[in-house]
Amino acid sequence: MREAVRHVQVTEEYAGQRLDNFLKRLLNEVPRSHVYRLVRRGEVRVNGRRASPDQRLQAHDTVRVPPVRTAPAAGPARVPPQLIETVRKAIVMEDERLIVIDKPAGIAVHGGSGLSFGVIEALRAMRPHETLELVHRLDRDTSGCLLVARKPGALRTLHALLREGRFEKRYLVLVRGKWELGRKRIDVPLRTDIRVGGERTVKAHPSGKPAVTEFRPVQFFGRRATLLEADIHTGRTHQIRVHAAHAGHPVAGDEKYGDDEFNASMREFGLTRMFLHAHSVSFEWPQGEPFSVNTPLPADLSAVLDRLSGPVRGGEGRRGARRRRAR
C-alpha cells in the first residue's frame, strides 16, 4: 500500500534526534536500508532542503516524508467509531486550508505512549483522501483549539509563523490562591529533558530552553483561586503548568506539578481534571488575511467556576455546604 506525502513537524520530544532514527519511528515497517536510500535520493527533506541521515533535528523543523510502498496493514478503518464520532462533533470550523477542532479533554492529539489512536488518526479515518497534519499539539488533559492543516503549503506557513513567534495561543487556567502579580510576564528557561522514574518532568532551570508566558487575571474567587488568561510566546512542554507553579500558583487539578491539598479542595467544587483550556488561536496569513478562532470553556469547567462564585463560604466545598444545611 502506497501512502501520500506527509509533512511532519518535529516536536520538542524529538528535538536533537538523528534524522534516520526519526524516520525509522515513522516508517517502522520499512527496512532501514530503504530509509537511507530515500534520504540519499533527496526524497526526504528538512525544511525544504536535502539532509543527511545523521542530521540532528530541531524543534519545529518540518520533515517531508515521501510515499513509501508497504505491505497492507491495519489502517484508519480500525479507529474506534466512537472516537471518530467524538472528533467529528468537535469540528468547529474549516476552510480550504485548515480544520479547527475543539478538542475534548482526555483525548490525545495522536497515537503513541500506549495509545493507538488520537484526533489525527480519527480525522484521517473520516477523510482518507486528504493529507491532514497537526499544526501544533495539546496535552491529552488540555481541552480547546487544535488546528489541523489540510494542505502541505498551509502546514509549512503555520510552522514558520510558530518559529517566528507570530502565532498567538491563549489559554484559560485556574490557579491556586489570589493572584496579586497583575499582568505578569514570566521569562524562565525550562529543562524539558529530565526524566524521573522514566517519566518526563519539566523543570525551571537556567540551563533550560527559553520559555516566556504572560499571565493576566480574569476573575478572582476570594483567596481560594484565580482564573487567568495565559499567552504563551514559546511552546515548551508543560510550559503554562510549570511557569504557574514557579510563580507560586499551581494549576488546579494538575497532578504532576500541582498542590495535592488544593486539588482535593477543587474536587469539592466538581473539578475532575486539570483546569487548562486553549480558548483562542490567532495569526495573520502572509497575504495579510487575519485568522482568529475562539472556543468557550467546556461545560464541566464552567460549572466549577459557577460553584466557586456561589454562596459557599470559608473553606467549605460542596460537602461542607451539605453539612451546614443538615444542621
What residues are labeled active site?
139
Q: How far apart are CA 77 and CA 75, in angstroms?
A: 5
Count the alpha carbons within 13 Å of 47 in the hemisphere toward its beta carbon.
11
Distance between CA atoms of 281 and 276, rounded to whole angstroms? 15
Contact 173, 244 (CB under 8 A): yes
Please state, as a whole number, how many other Cβ atoms lie within 10 Å of the Cβ of residue 153.
11
**Cα–Cα dist 228/183, whole Å:** 10
Bridge partners (DSSP) of residue 7 are 64
Cell representation of residue 311: 454562596
Neighbours of 108 (CB within 10 A): 21
SS3 44: coil
